[in-house]
A = this chain, B = another copy of it.
Amino acid sequence: MRPRLKDVAELAGVSIKTVSNVVNDYPHVSGETRARVEAAIAELSYRPNLSARSLRAGRSGVVALAVPDLDNPYFAELATNVIEAADRRGWTVLIDQTQGDRAKERVVISGIRDHLIDGLLFSPLALTGKDLAGRDERTPMVLLGERIGTGRSPYDHVGIDNVAAARAATLHLAEHGRRRIAAIGVQRTAVAATGRLRLKGYRQALAEAGLPADPSLIAPVARWGRADGAEAMSRLLDSGAPDAVFCFNDTLALGALRTLLKRGYEVPGDVLVMGFDDIQDGRFATPTLSTVAPDKALIAQSAVDLLAERLSGGTDKAHEVCVPHRLAFRESTDLPGQEHPRHPAHA
């Protein structure tokens, strides 16, 4: 079996506690004893039992990150950043995939892993305020991205200003003189707060630019995947072509781009395409994808910091962190005055 403190203690001829003291760098251990214990530890290649430790300490050093789907590059990149930020604090990250499914999301917040995780970083899609209200508030939770419920929630939240970002993105399209600017990403069924906020920003921009709000230019989707974007774009083209399209995330945009190119439209010549999230794929698509770039590293870092504050018994008041974003103008919107190598085959 695996060696325990007891085995090390016997081999070194000291008490269990002394070994524990050595392991934990307790100061008052004589050099000679320490050496003997360390030799014994090495010989048996002893490793502390983390389960016992966390039972004793009431802390496990593990936090959970719950996201809809790692297949989605945005969440994969977010997870990468979260894992790195957690690592800096010596935490381990455990990942739950909810598929954006309400039942699964409910399981995640229900404390199913209570006592295994010290905290939860949660990126919800389908939960309502009611679901949250029923939650036992034992394990601290920080919400990422989507804010749940309309009122003041008791949970820390990290996000970006979706309305402002969507507004700026849409305005950018309008500044190119485009007048039929479509939007892809509204979700009819789900709670989809994020989608609603981006829609709001889109509408604000249209109004600001003096453009009519044509409902036929708003393409609903079931999910935010590439296939959904492709299919939605197809519908838009069938029902009267737009001259620009703002997609609520990059995977939708890549899908839309695919449809456009496949059907012979030139991007950005015929249709401008703007995405949201700044996933890596967009930087290597042809044309490269203009997008809203949230500071993902900062989102992850802020979330981990908030959680750490909660864990150390910090403030009661729920914090609301708004992480900055910037717009990345690339070939798919071909901003004049900036250098953008046109695809020569189209030139």
Which residues of A come within 8 Å of B, CB atoms? 2, 45, 47-52, 54-55, 60, 62, 69-71, 73, 76-77, 79-80, 83-84, 92-97, 111-116, 136, 138, 226-227, 230, 254-255, 257-258, 261-266, 280-281, 283-286, 288, 341, 343-346
Nearest B residue (CB) for A104: B87
A224 to chain B, nearest CB (A): 13
Contact: B115 with A51, CB < 8 Å?
yes
Set of chain B residues within 8 Å of A73, measured between Cβ atoms:
73, 76, 281
Set of chain B residues within 8 Å of A94, measured between Cβ atoms:
62, 92-95
Copies in the complex: 2
Set of chain B residues within 8 Å of A60, measured between Cβ atoms:
51, 116
Nearest B residue (CB) for A225: B280
Nearest B residue (CB) for A58: B51
Ranked 9 nearest A-B pairs via Cβ:
A264-B344, A76-B76, A50-B116, A47-B114, A49-B115, A261-B286, A51-B54, A51-B55, A94-B94
18 further interface pairs, Cβ-Cβ under 8 Å (given A62-B116, A262-B341, A285-B285): A2-B138, A48-B115, A49-B114, A49-B115, A51-B60, A52-B115, A79-B95, A83-B96, A92-B113, A92-B116, A93-B95, A94-B95, A226-B281, A254-B281, A261-B286, A261-B345, A264-B344, A265-B345
Set of chain B residues within 8 Å of A258, measured between Cβ atoms:
284-286, 288
Known: A54-B51, A343-B261, A345-B266. A70 touches B62 (CB 8 A): no
Residue from B47, B262, B280 within 8 A of A111 (CB atoms):
B47
Set of chain B residues within 8 Å of A80, measured between Cβ atoms:
69-71, 97
Residue from B51, B84, B136, B284 within 8 A of A226 (CB atoms):
B284
Nearest B residue (CB) for A264: B344
Set of chain B residues within 8 Å of A254, measured between Cβ atoms:
281, 284
Set of chain B residues within 8 Å of A136, measured between Cβ atoms:
45
